[in-house]
Amino acid sequence: MNTFTTNLQDKHSLRCNCEDCFINQIVSKHLAPIICDQLLKSKMEVKYSQGDTLVEEGEKINKFLYIKEGLIKVSQLTDKKENRIISIARPHDNITLLTFFSSEKYLYTITALEDTLACTFPYRLMLDVIKSEKEFSYGFLNMISYASSKVINNFIKLSSRNLRGRLAYIILNFSDNIYKTDSFDLPLSRKEIAELIGMTVENVIRILSEFKKDGIINIDGKSIDILDKKKLQMISEFG
């Protein structure tokens, strides 16, 4: 028996006012008011400082995590115990959904690259709703599919480029998609950049220096100014 069934005409006693958030995308749209209220009442907002670990690889999954504000990195240890960054994620990227059904433990570590605000829901409650509500489950699976496709597409784009192209691609991604400006502070160390694009730290440092020498960027510590975006785009495309 579905214990969540109720009259869909009832008013919600709680609402989420965040634009484009998980609640507004599929919860309020597809769930009966009593279920929606139950999820909203269980929601907790947690603030993480830069460098904090949100979840640790190998920990038992006990919550559904949704990034509301900030920037995170998703990383995993290789068989050689080397850290590899899988993705950089913004709010609403839904990257935290990737192991929701595939394992009882987190298959990756999530770390805050900037001060981050996350909404959390009890894992078991979310599973119960998914099992009982078809339309909600469909929307949830669409979100997982989108997150998976984004990670795969990014991996293909990086692996198809040479070293200079990979670094140019990452700089442009931060500029165009994350910060939306040609002047910004890199949220990653040189080591983390290497872990993200599959290079050595030495190559990252060398190529950044080459970009600076060629007048493509100006770089001072983590601060980057893109000076010749067309040339950087050409390097990203053709190496």
User: Of the given ranges (11-20, 29-38, 92-101, 209-218), which has the lowest mean pLDDT?
Assistant: 11-20
Q: Does the pLDDT at position 91 exceed 80?
A: yes
Query: 165-189 pLDDT, tens per residue?
Result: 999 999 999 999 999 999 999 999 9
pLDDT average, residue stretch 115-141 = 87
Question: What CATH number labels 22-153?
Answer: 2.60.120.10
Greater confidence (3 vs 118) lies with 118
pLDDT average, residue stretch 134-160 = 87
Query: 6-62 pLDDT, tens per residue?
Result: 333 333 334 455 555 666 667 777 788 888 888 888 888 899 999 999 999 999 988
Q: Does the pLDDT at position 1 exceed 60?
A: no
Q: What is the pTM of this model?
A: 0.83
Greater confidence (117 vs 143) lies with 117
CATH of region 161-238, choose from 1.10.10.10, 1.10.1060.10, 1.10.357.10, 3.40.50.150: 1.10.10.10
Task: Tell me the pLDDT of the chain averaged across its residues.
Answer: 85
pLDDT of residue 191: 96
Structure tokens of 6?
A: 């109720």
- What SS3 string covers the chain? CCCCCCCCCCCCCCCCCCCCCHHHHHHHHHCCHHHHHHHHHHCEEEEECCCCEEECCCCECCEEEEEEECCEEEEEECCCCCEEEEEEECCCCCHHHCCCCCCCECCCEEEECCCEEEEEEEHHHHHHHHHHCHHHHHHHHHHHHHHHHHHHHHHHHHHCCCHHHHHHHHHHHHHHHHHCCCEEECCCCHHHHHHHHCCCHHHHHHHHHHHHHCCCEEEECCEEEECCHHHHHHHHHHC
Alpha-carbon dihedral sign for residues 63, 67, 73, 78: positive
pLDDT of residue 93: 75
pLDDT of residue 24: 64
- Percentage of residues of the chain with pLDDT beyond 70: 89
Task: Give the domain ranges of the chain.
Answer: 22-153, 161-238
The Cα 130–Cα 124 span in angstroms is 10
Structure tokens of 36?
A: 């929606």
pLDDT of residue 104: 84
